[in-house]
Amino acid sequence: MNRPRYISIAALLLAAAVGLSGCTTASLDAGKEAAASSIPGKDAAIPAAPFNKSAANLLPPDVKAKGTLVVGTDPTFAPYEFYAADSKTVVGWDADFAKAVGETLGLEVKMVPATFDTILPGVSSNKYDVGISGFNVTAERKMNADFASYQSSGSGLAVKAGNPKKLALDAMKLCGTKVGGEKGTTQGIETLPAFSKQCVVAGKAPIDIQLFPSQNEANLALISGRVDSVLSGLVGMGYASKLSGGAFELAGNQDFEPTPVGIAMPKGSPLTKAMVAAVRALIAGDTYKAINAKYGIPDSVTISADAVDASGAK
């Protein structure tokens, strides 16, 4: 699907609603304002994270000298990362968290938009210093990257309003249906293929897996009826359903296979120890709690400082 490069998830969802209902662009403008206001604490002040000298001392000399942390992110997954009203600035939970990591380490943070499936390769090639975009910390990913975990969250299944096909986050309930997802996600490359295999073993039709370049496009496919459901992160899909104007909803609030979520760095990176120390300091302080409160992140996905290290860094 062709679209302008800079557009927020709220605008895309509402644009789809406009196309389906025949509303005017005035409705879109009003809807964008309503979407922005749906952030629970959108005007809440986030206290600056205190500088942590011990963590900063662990920074590699080249990063310290540069003074900037370049972050790859996919701004199509509110409330974690999306575009502000200017359609250029990346905002959201991950943007605020990245800024707090920078404050902890004494670095400026530059958020660089990218498609999700290109971020980890970009981290490995040093195009980005780190990737912060809701990466599940899986055994496969840990073979090629280091991680500093900051949450633990699972998958959620979005369906058309009213769930007319009675779908559920169960392989046997999805056999023979069209399920959307985003390219490069664990849902797209691990969970859905595993579900489809279960269908075939049980003698049922496989799942028609349809992966899209962005979460926005997967959600729009659900709104337009091109897929029957979309599998993605539970918190993000729950938030997107609220922005959809009733076009889709979660098929229950089941948090399927909660997995650590973390900041990605090159495997064996000299930056890993500093990032782990910074995230530990943040989680133990007030800034992490304030960011969670601003975006209505449930306590169930938060982790303790002891659970941050997902890479073996000491």
- Evaluate whether 63 touches 69 at the Cβ level (below 8 Å): yes
Comparing 53-153+259-307 with 155-256, is the CATH topology the same?
Answer: yes
Question: What's the confidence (pLDDT) of residue 90?
Answer: 95
Q: Which of the four CATH numbers 3.40.50.300, 3.40.190.10, 3.60.110.10, 3.40.50.2000 does domain 53-153+259-307 have?
A: 3.40.190.10
* Domain coordinates in residue numbering, the chain: 53-153+259-307, 155-256
Task: Give the three-class secondary structure for 295.
Answer: helix
pLDDT per residue over 294-306, tens digit each?
998 888 899 999 8
State how far the alpha carbon of 132 is from the alpha carbons of 122, 142, 194, 228, 235, in Å.
12, 15, 26, 29, 16
State how far the alpha carbon of 302 is from the alpha carbons of 51, 172, 283, in Å.
22, 31, 9
Question: What's the confidence (pLDDT) of residue 310?
Answer: 62
Question: What's the confidence (pLDDT) of residue 311?
Answer: 61
- Evaluate whether 76 touches 82 at the Cβ level (below 8 Å): yes
Residue ranges of E strands in the chain:
68-73, 82-83, 90-91, 108-113, 130-136, 145-160, 178-182, 208-212, 229-233, 248-250, 256-266
Question: What's the confidence (pLDDT) of residue 24?
Answer: 33
Please give the backbone phi and psi of residue 112, each rounded to the nearest 5 degrees, phi first: -115, 115
- Residues in the chain with pLDDT values less than 50: 1-36, 312-314
How far is 61 from 305, CA to CA, in rounded Å?
26
- Evaluate whether 117 touches 124 at the Cβ level (below 8 Å): no
State how far the alpha carbon of 236 is from the alpha carbons of 51, 118, 154, 216, in Å.
30, 20, 10, 11
pLDDT per residue over 203-219, tens digit each?
999 999 999 999 999 99
* CATH architecture of the domain with residue range 155-256: 3-Layer(aba) Sandwich (3.40)
